[in-house]
Chain A
Amino acid sequence: MKSKIKFLSFIVFVLAITFTFTQCSHNDKEHSNDSDKASVLDDSFDKIDDSQSNSIEINEHGVKFDHTKMALSCKDCHSCQYPTKQKPCLINCPRKQLITVYHAPEEGPTLVEMNQIKGDYKPFMFTHKLHAQMANMTGGCQTCHHYNTTGPIQKCSNCHESDRAKVKNIHIPDLESAYHRMCLTCHREWSHSTDCQQCHLSKDQNPEEYKKSKIAKYQHKDHPPLVEPGKIVYQTKHSSGKFVTFQHEDHTKLFGLECKSCHGDDNCISCHDYWNKQTGNNTVKFKKTHKTFQQHHNPCSNCHTIQNNCGKCHKEQEVDKFNHSSTGFNLGTNHSHLQCNACHKKTGVFKGLNKNCTSCHNNFVMGKFDHKKTGLQLNEMHADFDCSSCHTNNNFAVSPVCNDCHDGYSYPAKKPGKLVKKK
């Protein structure tokens, strides 16, 4: 018995030293020879060791996640420098930077029965797909699933305690609060009503019938696809520079902005002007609120410099869509679908690009370029030529002429290879 204790304490001693060096503990005073404490220390050490050898962990909610495969900084989830399993020091949800995976609205369930809370009202059917489609136009899935690892979708009740009296961390609302906040943040603005029976089943309704009617009504119902405005013209109250034209399409299509980067905080009423019902044309009117200069210009100033630059946006009349041919370079059919930053690599600078194809297309050199892409597979003879042998001055816009080299030859009667399907 005595020897066993001795042996154990020896192991503990060794482990404790390692422990100190691995900096996993902040308390090195604990490595005493006291066997009670030692066993605790021993235990914790094992686990830490385990997690180091195998980065896949199963958290308390039974969700597997792999730390190493996450594009994250530790600080996104942990508040201390060296989180341990005992003290993960997780920061409170919702975390500032969120980890989400995108799912199409159709991937999720159409209707979800909310029945986890026992209360004054009966369970109700949540039209998940419809809401997901709506969320798609603003914050995406994370509007509701605000904290999710790369694994499966977590249940709300994993974090949100369903019994309010048992809530330990008051920073995380309980399940009932979480549900209602999710609903009410939009629905209060949307319908201006907090009537419980808007969602909940009243006492005289039959739950089965209600369920059936809901399914029948919403199973194939989709939110109508969003009509994206080409441009929005804002009229300001200033006498000079009265019009601000916002090229909405350019921002989404050419700059590749996601909806949520501007509309992340938007609500249904942002578009469905509930009070004015003025959604006739493409020009959408926003509800007027008293905003500071800063708040007012935030949508633009988040990316654009607005200081001393008013005239850039504030014009005397509506502005037409940007025409790239006005710069002397017609985008044609090949380039028109490209986003700006495909060519204009330097952020914010749109000048000084060489019109020469090779200035961008650095693969337009012999041996690197697969000529099949143009729909013409060069035969062996031609494949070995330098590009400029045929394409004079590396001008690929103009097709080469055969009789520059071959007298009397003309395309397409004679081809330098065979035609293939364009890639």
Chain B
Amino acid sequence: MSELIYPQPVKAKFFTPGMIIVSLIALNGIVFLAIRFLFGIGAVTNLNNQYPWGIWIGVDVAAGVVLAAGGFVSAAMGHIFHLPYMKLVVRPALLTAMLGYTFVAFAVFVDIGRWYYIWHPLVMWNGTSPLFEVGICVMIYLTVLYIEFTPILTERFRGKVNLPSILRVFNGLVEWILKLLDNTLGKVMFLFLIAGVVLSTLHQSSLGTLMVIAGYKMHPLWQTPILPLLFFISAVCVGIPMIIFESLIASRSFKIEPEMHVLSKIAGYVPLLLGIYLAFKLGDMFIRQSFVYMTEINKFSIAFIIEIVFGVILPMIMLMSRRVLNSPFWLFIASALVVLGVGINRINNFIIAYRPFYAKSAYIPSFGEISVTLGCIALTVILYRAIVMIFPVISLPKQDDLKELKHNRG
């Protein structure tokens, strides 16, 4: 079967009714983005001096980074550990990672007060700052992701460069650049692949270190010195479910057959990873004796239970069953639970657990903040759809094979 299919641009209608809704959400976000850049962060957000970070960091950046973990997990599994069946999903995962990190970088750009100084960390280094490390790693990793994506670009355009009208004179030059890229990159790509995995390991964990310095301001259910380890393990955990999640959505959206043989195979690893994560999480809880906070019922204990039960335990049990692994629907539900669970974990760590001593009222994101976050996600979705329709990302049977397949079935 795998011999029959290979990556190719998807042919489908771009503006489906769903996509029109997505576009409207994106437009709404853009309006609030404009307000943010014209009148300052305070004009759009509910942030204040007690709550300096809101959902733009908690959801867009923290959850964004972890949900783009599919990229490095698949790169590690496919390219480094050479699990052959990963080849099919490496490209979509890479694209998600690339778009995800672009989205993260954009969110940072929106959230920082002086967006025009976003390059400062490149020249002003502060070795003690985990944020500096995250920033540098994300910047390099984003570059690495773009480099990793170049072969797809060259594959699409090499030998087909045909610029319109006047620009036609550059055809030769562009063709030459593509050729050069294709030839040289191929030889050093392995360096970038490994670097991508190392960089991900570093910043996925350092993202956890970020909140350690908040100290007592962070609820003890989450505040622990092993936060970086927990962040890293959960990033590894969410990589595969994220690949499954988006693969299933894509196949549904483009009305193509889901590659269940690959998906259920890789999903088999997830319970083990979740188990390790759960062990660390609960072990840490018992060592620090933070379970005493579970006895009181408040938003902290409830958020923690939701995160653990629905995000870790439930999908772990589900994915141990053959029936779930073989059913696209249940596999989708289970992966979605892991994705949501880890997403909630990031939101919990960055927003719910952060309870500043002097806050007068809890932070609730404003409509503008939510609009911008949703708008950015919508833009990412639009970009994803556009790219898979232009570039060979998703593996499909050859167009004529497809017809044949349908014909045979019919």
Question: In the complex, are there CB atoms of A and B closer than 8 Å?
Answer: no
